[in-house]
Structure formats: C-alpha cells, structure tokens
Structure 1
C-alpha cells in the first residue's frame, strides 16, 4: 500500500496530472484470497485510486500448490495478466512496489543458484514488462513508426503493393521507484499516514517458494556481515552501476557505427569503429565490445534475448586486435568469413567498390535454417477482416496480421527453396523479373530462406506458396483473381534499438523531478525518466 499512498499523496499535494489505476492480483492459491483482494481494492478506492482485481487462471485440473515451479509459473501468469490489463486500458507504465528487502532476497537467491558478476545486479528499476513475449500491445509493440520517421531511406526497389515499412515501438514498461527504500521505512510511512500495511499470508510459508525460504533466513538468522541485506544491496548497486557504465560506453560506440537496416529482409549492414585504441587498455574492454555487438545482433536475431556469453566468438572475430596478446584465445584467433551466434549469421563484406567508406563491413542476418533447425510457423485465423485480425509475432522479428479469405489452412513460415521457385514461376514475366532483382539485392544467397512466406497447406500435405508479405509480392495466375483475390496482410518489423541521434544544445532526453513523500523531514529527490 505504500506505493499507492505515495501516488495518491503526490497527486494531491503537487496537483500533478497523474492518472493512476491500481491492479490487485488474486493468485487463487488459498481460500479467502478473493475476499482479501476485494478488501485491498476497497482500501485503494478509499485513497481515491480506481482499482481492479485480476484473477489468475490456472490450467484446468492443475493444483498450483503441487507444482514444483510454482513461483515461476505464478510470476508468468501474474505479469501476463498485468500486461493485458495495461494494454486494454492504454497504460504504458506499470509501477511495482519492490523495495530494498526484495532486492536483497533476489540477489541472495541468485548467489545460491551460482550466479556471478553481471548476474548479481538484481532487479532493474526500469525494464520492459517480463513474461509477455509475443503479446501485441504489451511486449515492445502497440505503436507504429513509419520508416521515414526512423531516419532510414525508403527502398527504391520495393514492390508497388508493399505497404509503407516501419517499426513497432511502445509496449508496457515496468518501473520500480521504491528499490532504494527498505520495508521498515515503507511500513513506517504507511503508519504515519494511517494507511494499512497489507501483506500476503503466503509470504510467511517458507516451504512454498525459494524466495520465501530466503526471506525466512533473513528474518530468523544472524548472518555474516557480508550477507546482510545492507551488504547485499550495496553489492547489487555497485554491480548495476558498473554494468550501466559499460552499457553507456557500448551505446556511445554504437552511435559511431555506420548502420544500414533493411526491415524487409530483416538484415543489417554494420561498419564497427576501431576499438583497439579505445578498449585494449580497458579492464572490461571485451565486455563493452560484446555489449556493442549485442546491440547489432538484437536488430536481426529471432531469439528473445541475447546473452554476452553467446557473443564470445563474434567479439574475437570482429575485434581481433583486442586479443592479439591473449595466448589463451587459441582457435578463436583464426578469422572466418562467416559464422553464426545467437541465431545470427555474421558475414564479412568488402563494400569499398560500392562507394561505401573503406574498412570492413559486416552483414548480419537471421541464421539460415538447416534440416536440424525447427522452422517456425504461425497459423492465421480465418474470415476476420484485416483490421480485426490480431498481430502475431513471427520468428521473433515480424509482427504480422493476415486476412485469409479462404477456408483452407494458411500459415506464415520461412520460405523454402522449392516453394520460392514455385512462387516465382507463378508470376508473370515482369513481376518475376522484378522479384528476382529484389531478392538478389536485399536477400542474396541463403538469406532469402529467412523471409516470411504465406503458405497454404492442403489436405494431402502438399503446400502452395501464396505471398512474400515483407516484399509485397502475391502469387500470380488464376488463383490471384479468384479464391485469393482478397488476400491481404500488414507487416511491421519488431521494436529495435537504433543509434541515438546526437544531443541538441547539450540536451538529451526529458526528465522530471518527483519530491520524496516518504514522511516528514525527508528532502530526497528522485529523477524519473519519461520513457
């Protein structure tokens, strides 16, 4: 209730144009939880905050208390319920009341699990909402930016049928403004304002979850000084500050890269700066280099997240001068023309003959599927008009919705050699020639087999290619004017991090100051960045 009380008081005392809505999650883990949740809803409404109860829906026939991964599954269902509730109400920022004690419990849990270094930075104060991957309007989506708004050139080679390309932006962001404050401080704040302190009874059951067991250890045992809440929080803060410093350096270098993004083929050409002089003497030079490469890889990878450990080979290949004195690198010192990592194909390019700046360029594309690699596919809902179709995240890269005018099963999947050849043959000479030229330019070699393709699956398991939606090409022949005449689609590239534009007059971003309302006598100020 402390966070709710702070928001209510801030809105009243500062006359802030703050629109606050509260959600109370009923996990349905014990009798009486709904009654308690309703009581909390009433208390929030007494503070002048509209509140809604969200009931978690566990799979039918499953007793959640018997699940070995109860904590993980409850977290997944909770965040998905919160994310959908935010999206339905057009809420972009979700404030959570995690405090310093929660941070200490998280870090100690990770220590027990064997995490080290960056893995101990704890709960992040600002992040995308977790556990909502692939939910449109919640996960990094919901707002559309045309290509011209992204400062990227419109391709001259696109098909006239191709819609104006662009990126998805938006999504729900999680903010935790109370991480610096302990539970005792927050409960005292509630007591000062006569606001009841509410706590879930299941938090005291040390056998229910690992976090509960860790909480019991903190409460019931005298731990060494290095394992007190204060020490662990200080450790987490130091690591988080170091990681932020490394990431800031990597982002600055990313801003110095020459980056050419092609969102129709999902590829990016990058010319990295020379890092040897800047990072070779830096104790964390390889970490900063990995963070830089991750920024580029995130533009094209189908994977939800890319870890720094996945990028050891790319860092050695792209920046070999950083490791020329490292005898332990071994085989990593051998340079390859192309290789894969984190779901990305890295290919060296010499583009000096094309009029580009001298130096080595890298073409990054989705890893080309092999026989051993499961090819993703997404089934399309039938009959609904295009604007009523839900966007679906295909292959982690493209948000796509399609109107299927047929009664046959239509799917989106990566193109295959035989289907692409059949599709080109269905086109008239002019369209086939144009498509062949487009493929040669934007999806050469095997990259064309990473393009999304609309495919009909027949009852006899045969398939018919219908369209290459990102390129704007639809099948030719009699079917194009018959059963599939009303086939339509809308494709948008997923949210990506592009190099930031330079500062204007020394100003970058936008901040506001929120005065602390944690009780009398406190004059701390907290900067909350508008995202």
Structure 2
C-alpha cells in the first residue's frame, strides 16, 4: 500500500518585523529635511481593539524592543502610547475599552482611555445614537479627542491601522458614488490630522512654540562645534576674498528656507518697515503603515503571537452602513473581475500617479515662473504674475500645431486649476480648499488662452472661496492682487472670545496701571492660541482679570484708536495702512477689543474698546504694561516664496514696486519722452548729490593740507575726482535731454 500524497494548504503569513519596519520607513518620511538635531519623542497609536489595531500595537511593541534607534519622521521614537476612544454609544463599551488597555499593557505598551462627551446632545433631550448624522459627528469628535491627547502627550506622529481591505472598500465606495480619478486615490498613507482645524498645536501648527522651548524637539541650528568651525573658516576666508564672493558661496539669500515658517522682507527706507509675521507649521501627522497588508495577514499575526482582539458586532451588520454592505458583498459573492481587489487597487495606484504628477507639474510651474511676486502675512495679501500658456508668436509653427495645442488644453487647464488653488490657499479664510471643479470659471478669467471661447475683454475683479482677485493692468502683463473678500452684511463677523472680565476702575486715565491695586498683579501664562477667520493664530496674556474679543477692524472704532496714538506713531500708522492694507483690506485685519458691561439702557450690549491690531503690532500707549498679544499666520507653502524667474526678473513698466505707497496702485503708461524725463530727473539728482559729496570731501582734505607746502596723493586724487565729475555733468544733461525729446 503506497503512502498518501502530501497536501500543503497555504494560509496567510504573519507580518514580520522586517516587513513592518520597511513599511514604516516608507511611509514616515521626514517632514523637515533641514533639521540638524532631533530629540527622542513618543508616538501615538489609535487603538480600537479590532484585529488590525491590535496587530499594529503588537508590531510596534516588538519593534521597539529590537530596534532602539528607530527614527519615525523627524524624531527618534522613544516609545509608543495607545489611545483608546470610548464612543459610549452602546452598552459595555467602557468595559471593552478597559479590556483593550489591559491587553496592551500585557505586551508592554502604555494606554490611555478617552471617552467621548455627549453632554450637549443629551442636554437637549436627544439620544446620541439617534442622530441622523451620527457617523460624521462621531468621526469629528474622535479626531479632535485624538488630536488633543497627542498634544498633551507631545506626540506629533499618530498611527492608524487601516489595511489593504479598507483601502479597497474605500475606492469601491467612491467608484460607485461617481468620483473622478482624484477621489479614486483612496486612503492616503500620510496626511495632516483632519477635523482639528481650530486646535493649535494639532493642525499644522505648534512648531514655533517648540522652537521657543529651552530644549526643543527639533533644532534647525547647527551644533556649537560646527558653528565654531564655521566662524574660523569665515574669519580666514574674509581676508582672502571680498564679502560679495563669500555671500554667493554661502547662499545667504536662501538661508530663510532652512527655517520653516520664517518670512523675510526687503528693507526700503521709503516704506515703513513692518516685521513680517511668522507662519505656523508642525502639528500632528497621521500615518498608515499597514495599507500594503491584507487583513488576513493581520489576523495571522495576532493568532501566531497570542494577541487578543475585540470585534465590534456593528461592523458585520450589512444593513447599517454602505461600507458594511460592500464588505459583505465582496466576501459573499464573486464580483466581476473589474471590481475585484487587484483591479480596483491597480486603478487606485494609477489615479495616485496621475494626481501626483499633476501636483508636481503645478508646483514646478509656480516655482519656475516665480508667480508669487509678494506675500504679506501681516495683512494676508498676495501679489502674483501668472505665466501665459500661449505659444510664442516668434516660434515656427508646424503642421497640426493648432490641433496639438487644442488637444493639450484639458491637461493645461487641470494644471492651471491646481496652481490657482495653491495660490488661493495663501489667502482664503475657508478651512477646506475649493474643489478643482469650482475653479473652471477662474481659469477662464486668469488664463484666457485656455478658454474655449476667448473674449479678449479687459480683466475684471472677481471673488472665489473668500478671496478677491483684483487685476493690476500693465503694458506687458497683468498682475493680480489677492486679498480677503469683504465680509457679507447678511453673515456674522468672525469673532473669537477670550474668557475673563476687564475692570476699568483699575485703569489710570493718564498713565496706565500705577495704582496699588495692580502693583501686585502678575502675568498669567499664555492662553492657547486660537484661529481667527481661518487665517491668523492669535493668543493673549494679561496681568489683570480681563475679557477680550477678536474681531475685524471696524470703521466706527478706527478713528478713536487713531486719535489715541501719539502724533509720530499716528503718521506711521497711516503709512502702514496705506501700503500694507490699502482700501478695504484694512477692514479684514484682526483687532483686539476689550469688553465691559454696558450701562443704563444698553446694559445688555457689551461696550467694546479697540486696544490693538495684533498683525500690525500697533496698540494704544501703555497697553504693554497689562496685556501682551502675539499673532502668527496660518501654515502656507513657503517653498513658493522668494523666487525669481529664470533669466532674471522681467520688469513691468508703469507698475510701482514695493517702495510705492500702495502695492495695488498702478501708474498709467506715459509717453517715452515723459518716461525718459522722469529717469533723467532721478539720475541728475543722484549725480548732483555725488558731486556735492565729493566737493565736501575735497574741502575737508584741503583744510587739512593748508599748512603743508605740497599736497598729498589723496588730496590730488580728490581734486581730480571733483573735476572729472564736474566735466561729466554737462554731458549727462545734454544726453538725457536729447533722449527725453525722443531723438
């Protein structure tokens, strides 16, 4: 009797630590490549108790035991912390959360349980489980609780356990809903935490506060040993080469890019200098390292290592959610090949590649053409000069060139729409960027050559996503001035309230706080910064009990605020508004108001007093004795700032530069003779000033050498220089006059 044949049943393979480490390194790329030193930091894990999150927690725990120097994003990983969210929507959820925490502690991971608070819903007499939008509300509360916990734990990396099956279900749902290729990208491997847009230190903010610490987690400054060596090299090279050569070697103009959020501004003596606001960066980032693993492998990982997990029975009810129905359909029925997992995942990968290429091309367009001419974070304005997609007329036109341009137009429109959205994100007060489909009309206005029916009309102002586009017409090109759209009369003004109450009896009308009541006051710690109008992060600290409101600069308070300033500061204030916030832009600036109870018939209406304009750094005299404030701008893409076009800048005749009174003001194009006349006057004024300086120098040298029989070489050189300039001056007059007359 022959031996029975051996049959091998191939089951799912557990995820190894090497595979998990490689997936982790592929997803957790550095967010700040210029960091010179990073302290170890915790990482946070969102643990629900399911098989996927428990497998991820076990893999992290095992990885930290064998790889001590593991670097995640920018910091070495110190330890992992599990965050368990108790939704409190079903019986036994609290006990289940405690069991999950005990299981995490069993294999060496700390855990914290965070229950969601439904007090406001229950106060209205409603059951949270009966809310029509329960899934969306629970999602928002869950993300906000995760973000707040990460901020408390000082963790900037939050890990989710979404796997390959979740990715497949998401893409399939969006495909059935009719999404385009951008929606078919599915779950992203890394992104900023959503639903936390108003939480400072959680959503794209907090890095500047970290840099102010004595021992920051991220340091962009070179070590002291390297700085000492660099000083010695510069000291030795300074005597051999001029500073201009050394400056080009060091790339001084590009040093600001090494420090995230740092904005530089050119100094012009004809314009009042205003220190630019820093732009926020940092925050909590979400990573999903298990997207390349099937759920079967995660189950095998837990089974092979004796890890318990806790299934939620609501995830298996196909009548509860669309995702549950699709999950049941994919497991119980054989779908067409085009809807099966390999085909859908391949479709998602192609959609990702296409979207990635388009984003990169739009970014290259903005960088190559130096579209952003000026960005002012103090007022939240942007000055841009858009390139043209039109083929040059001097270029030789080949056969079928027109048909080729027409075929490329849809792709160019997509690139233009992405570029416009990147520009709108600098100024918009909205928390979400506008969809590309909503920018079709904007592309037609900004790029007439890409429109299906170019009308050739003069560009006009328009608004989109809370941003006003105002054209600045020039003879060679059109620039656009982007600013916050005026507030609508039928909508409430953006407002932020800070707790407390201000007692004006403590104030001295003439000299601020000098009475004994305030002498024992002390500065309170900074309040957590709050986002105002979706653009400015503002925080306040006071040494007295006070209550403040942050509102826009209102016209009825502007005059009183202006009169409260000293005479010299009043003139500077007017010049700053005229240049940095012209027209209606000034009424979109954040203003700090004090609040006190009304009197008499207006007792129900609080009385407001304008104290400061935080983004401009201007306040009433003496305010610094009892109130401190700080303003920062929201996170923007600073890689698009401070650029020059290839081949140098292209001057636009007739447009005022930054030295003008207003960046929106345009000088009408004058005749060539008048333009040359203006140039002549400016040049002659500079030449005459040079002559006077040389004459003063010569007179000083002559007085010194009056008692000497012979004049030194320096004195003879000064006299010769004076005579040379005097001889050139009449010729300069005649040449410029001839040019001014158009000869």
> Same fold by TM-score, threshold 0.5 exceeded?
yes
Shift of 1:154: 6.4
Shift of 1:371: 1.9
Per the alignment, residue 6 of structure 1 pairs with 59
- Pairs within 5 Å for 1:79-118: 79-118=143-182
Identify, as 1 or 2, the structure richer in helix: 2
In the aligned structure 2, how far is the partner of 1:43 from the partner of 1:277?
A: 66
In the aligned structure 1, how far is the partner of 2:627 from the partner of 2:641?
A: 39
Higher mean alpha-carbon deviation, 283-292 vs 72-81, is at 283-292
In the aligned structure 2, how far is the partner of 1:192 from the partner of 1:16?
A: 26
Q: Gaps spanning 5+ residues in structure 1: where?
A: 353-357, 503-531
Aligned partners of 1:386 and 1:488 also within 8 Å? no
- Pairs within 5 Å for 1:261-280: 261-276=375-390
Shift of 1:431: 1.5
Q: Deviations over 1:345-395 (max 9, x none)?
A: 11222579xxxxx74322211112232343201112227945331211000
Per the alignment, residue 81 of structure 2 pairs with 21
The change in CA–CA distance for 1:405 and 1:382 in structure 2 (over 3 A counts) is farther
SS of match in other structure, 1:388: coil
SS of match in other structure, 2:174: helix
In the aligned structure 1, how far is the partner of 2:610 from the partner of 2:267?
A: 24
- Pairs within 5 Å for 1:306-317: 306=433, 307-317=435-445
In the aligned structure 1, how far is the partner of 2:567 from the partner of 2:473?
A: 33
SS of match in other structure, 2:539: strand
Aligned partners of 1:21 and 1:50 also within 8 Å? yes
Per the alignment, residue 428 of structure 2 pairs with 301
Per the alignment, residue 107 of structure 2 pairs with 47
Which entry has the higher C-alpha Rg, 1 or 2? 2
In the aligned structure 1, how far is the partner of 2:137 from the partner of 2:318?
A: 18
Per the alignment, residue 473 of structure 1 pairs with 618
Aligned partners of 1:159 and 1:473 also within 8 Å? no
Per the alignment, residue 517 of structure 1 pairs with none
Note if 1:364 corresponds to 2:482. Answer: yes
Shift of 1:409: 4.8
SS of match in other structure, 1:68: coil
Shift of 1:49: 2.0
The change in CA–CA distance for 1:404 and 1:112 in structure 2 (over 3 A counts) is farther
Per the alignment, residue 507 of structure 1 pairs with none
Higher mean alpha-carbon deviation, 457-466 vs 257-266, is at 457-466
Higher mean alpha-carbon deviation, 300-309 vs 203-212, is at 203-212
Q: Deviations over 1:244-280 (max 9, x none)?
A: 1111111122222243221111112222333445997
In the aligned structure 1, how far is the partner of 2:583 from the partner of 2:536?
A: 21
Q: Gaps spanning 5+ residues in structure 2: where?
A: 1-53, 71-76, 213-254, 393-404, 502-521, 643-743
Residue among 490, 495, 505 paired with 1:377: 495
Aligned partners of 1:159 and 1:471 also within 8 Å? no
Aligned partners of 1:254 and 1:295 also within 8 Å? no
Per the alignment, residue 397 of structure 1 pairs with 535
Per the alignment, residue 418 of structure 1 pairs with 556
In the aligned structure 2, how far is the partner of 1:445 from the partner of 1:501?
A: 25
The change in CA–CA distance for 1:107 and 1:159 in structure 2 (over 3 A counts) is same
SS of match in other structure, 1:21: strand
Aligned partners of 1:311 and 1:342 also within 8 Å? no
Residue among 429, 438, 454 paired with 2:592: 454
Q: Deviations over 1:437-486 (max 9, x none)?
A: 0011101111111101122455234543221111111135xxx57xx951
Residue among 303, 313, 333 paired with 1:221: 333
- Pairs within 5 Å for 1:273-288: 273-276=387-390, 281=408, 283-288=410-415
Higher mean alpha-carbon deviation, 447-456 vs 140-149, is at 140-149
The change in CA–CA distance for 1:96 and 1:156 in structure 2 (over 3 A counts) is farther
Identify, as 1 or 2, the structure richer in strand: 1
Residue among 428, 442, 447 paired with 1:319: 447
In the aligned structure 2, how far is the partner of 1:39 from the partner of 1:452?
A: 49
- Pairs within 5 Å for 1:472-511: 472-475=617-620, 480=622, 485-499=625-639
- Pairs within 5 Å for 1:51-70: 51-60=111-120, 61=122, 62-70=126-134
In the aligned structure 2, how far is the partner of 1:156 from the partner of 1:416?
A: 30
Per the alignment, residue 181 of structure 1 pairs with 293
Aligned residues: 486
The change in CA–CA distance for 1:500 and 1:426 in structure 2 (over 3 A counts) is closer
Q: Deviations over 1:290-341 (max 9, x none)?
A: 1111111111110011122332233222222222xx23x7x7x645332111
In the aligned structure 2, how far is the partner of 1:448 from the partner of 1:500?
A: 25
Shift of 1:418: 2.5
Q: Deviations over 1:505-530 (max 9, x none)?
A: xxxxxxxxxxxxxxxxxxxxxxxxxx
The change in CA–CA distance for 1:252 and 1:164 in structure 2 (over 3 A counts) is closer
Per the alignment, residue 37 of structure 1 pairs with 97
Aligned partners of 2:549 and 2:593 also within 8 Å? yes
Shift of 1:224: 2.5
Residue among 170, 179, 186 paired with 1:122: 186
In the aligned structure 2, how far is the partner of 1:475 from the partner of 1:421?
A: 12
Aligned partners of 1:27 and 1:74 also within 8 Å? yes
In the aligned structure 1, how far is the partner of 2:431 from the partner of 2:483?
A: 15
In the aligned structure 2, how far is the partner of 1:469 from the partner of 1:15?
A: 45
Shift of 1:404: 5.3
